[in-house]
């Protein structure tokens, strides 16, 4: 089946490698100005925990300078989905659409073995390319990661182990959707929706709780999020008793202070209010990567098993 898989997916392989090469070239080219800016501004002295005076001006300036590129690179989070859309979904959808399954599935290889072999080989390729892409992005984001940390979504989703894991999951989803919807366009759409929904749900509801978040209590007037490189989950005002202050109450207090011609910040302090910051520390990056990657790989395996079970029952 190795030759068969290669022959049927060689165009996709070429496309994926081309994409990777383009990515690497773009990374190479754009990294140069970033590196020179980093050195010019001596930003290495601003790396946490060192806090040189002036850093709180230089660092945001540096980040603004390349904000566009950083945002664009964040968009690369869509790359893993491509494995599902253009490799996974067409695998079965195209066979069923063109009815070539009546040729492919009446040879000496059973349907299940055919599907399992093809998917395994494609998964290996996807893992490899995903890992390479992840490596390229991690290298590019080096300066930014050191300054602002990588455990936040802007870094986490496009670096490390999760990228190949997402791609694997997308591939598996594509295969299953291809089997269920039997038409390329419908399968691709369904794959995209399912992939996006899963990623969203994990990011919003699971990842914040992989490990119990840490809390830090700071004065209400303190600026900044107190600890660069961490992933801040919430930053709220609480009163002396630990109850959260609503925005309405906060506004009321500020208004009150202004009417009394007192500085609002000092007033809030006298009220005994504090800021509670809930966060995941930067040091947990690799643990979280392992957990999330493991989750998506397990999901991918489950989806593939469903597809392999279902393929024998597919009416044709």
Partner 1 sequence: MSGAPLVADGLGKRYGRDWGLRDCTLTIPDGAIVGLTGANAAGKSTLLALATGLLAPSEGSVSVLGRDPLRDPSVLADVGFVAQGAPLYRSFSVAETIEFVRRTNSGWDDEIVPDLLTRISSRAKVGSLSEGERARLALGLVLGKRPRLVLLDEPFASLDPLAGRELLQLLMDHVAETAATVVIASHVIADIERVCDHIVLLTGGGVRLESNVEVLLDSHRLLTGPRRPLGSIRGVREIVRERHSGRQLTLLVVTDGPIVDPSWTVEPVGLEDLLLAYMAPERLPTPRTSEKVPLRWHG
**Residues listed for the chain:** 316
| Binding positions for partner 1, 74-103, rule CB under 8 A | 98-103
Nearest to 254 by CA among 276, 269, 242, 233: 269
Q: Which one, 11 or 67, has the nearer CB to partner 1?
A: 11
Q: Sheet containing 214-219: give its strands across.
A: 214-219, 274-280, 231-238
Coil, helix or strand at residue 37: helix
Determine, following the binding rule CB under 8 A, whether residue 121 of this chain makes contact with partner 1: no
- The least distance separating partner 1 from the CB of residue 102, rounded to whole angstroms, comes to 4
Whole-angstrom Cα distance, residue 141 to residue 130? Answer: 16
Determine, following the binding rule CB under 8 A, whether residue 105 of this chain makes contact with partner 1: yes
Residues 273 and 254: beta-carbon distance below 8 Å: no
* Sole window of 107-115, 214-222, 235-243, 261-269 interacting with partner 1 (rule: CB under 8 A): 107-115
* Per-residue binding letters, 33-72, with partner 1 (x by CB under 8 A): ----------------------------------------
| Binding positions for partner 1, 7-26, rule CB under 8 A | 7-8
- The least distance separating partner 1 from the CB of residue 112, rounded to whole angstroms, comes to 8
Q: Which one, 7 or 261, has the nearer CB to partner 1?
A: 7
**Beta bridge pairs of residue 216:** 277
Q: Six-digit token pair at 137?
A: 């992005």
Residues 156 and 188: beta-carbon distance below 8 Å: no
Among 107, 212, 223, 259, the residue binding partner 1 under the rule CB under 8 A is: 107
Whole-angstrom Cα distance, residue 276 to residue 234? Answer: 8
Determine, following the binding rule CB under 8 A, whether residue 1 of this chain makes contact with partner 1: yes
Q: Six-digit token pair at 79?
A: 């790359």
- The least distance separating partner 1 from the CB of residue 302, rounded to whole angstroms, comes to 24
Q: Which one, 113 or 243, has the nearer CB to partner 1?
A: 113
Residues 148 and 46: beta-carbon distance below 8 Å: no
* Sole window of 110-118, 130-138, 247-255, 279-287 interacting with partner 1 (rule: CB under 8 A): 110-118
Burial string for 274-286 (b: 16+ CB within 10 Å, else e) reads: bbebbbbbbebbe
Which residues of this protein are in contact with partner 1, per CB under 8 A?
1, 3-4, 7-8, 98-112, 114, 312-313, 315-316
């Amino acid at each position: 089946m190795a030759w068969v898989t290669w022959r049927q997916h060689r165009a996709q392989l070429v496309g994926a490698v081309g994409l990777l090469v383009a990515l690497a070239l773009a990374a190479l080219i754009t990294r140069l100005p970033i590196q020179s800016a980093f050195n010019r501004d001596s930003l290495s002295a601003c790396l946490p925990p060192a806090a040189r005076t002036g850093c709180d001006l230089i660092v945001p300036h540096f980040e603004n300078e390349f904000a566009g590129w950083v945002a664009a690179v964040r968009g690369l989070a869509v790359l893993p989905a491509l494995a599902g859309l253009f490799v996974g979904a067409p695998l079965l959808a195209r066979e069923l659409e063109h009815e070539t399954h009546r040729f492919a599935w009446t040879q000496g290889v059973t349907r299940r073995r055919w599907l399992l072999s093809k998917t395994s080989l494609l998964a290996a390729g996807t893992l490899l390319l995903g890992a390479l892409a992840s490596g390229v992005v991690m290298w590019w984001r080096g300066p930014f990661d050191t300054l602002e940390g990588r455990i936040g979504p802007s870094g986490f989703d496009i670096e490390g182990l999760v990228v190949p894991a997402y791609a694997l999951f997308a591939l598996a989803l594509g295969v299953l959707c291809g089997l269920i919807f039997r038409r390329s366009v419908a399968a691709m759409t369904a794959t995209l929706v399912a992939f996006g929904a899963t990623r969203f749900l994990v990011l919003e509801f699971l990842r914040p709780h992989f490990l119990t978040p840490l809390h830090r209590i700071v004065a209400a007037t303190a600026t900044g999020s107190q600890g660069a490189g961490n992933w801040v989950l919430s930053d709220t005002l609480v009163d002396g008793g630990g109850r959260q202050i609503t925005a309405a109450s906060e506004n009321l207090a500020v208004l009150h202070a202004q009417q009394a011609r007192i500085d609002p910040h000092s007033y809030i302090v006298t009220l005994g209010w504090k800021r509670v910051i809930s966060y995941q520390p930067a040091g947990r990056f690799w643990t979280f990567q392992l957990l999330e990657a493991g989750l998506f790989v397990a999901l991918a395996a489950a989806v593939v098993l469903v597809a392999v079970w279902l393929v024998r029952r597919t009416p044709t």
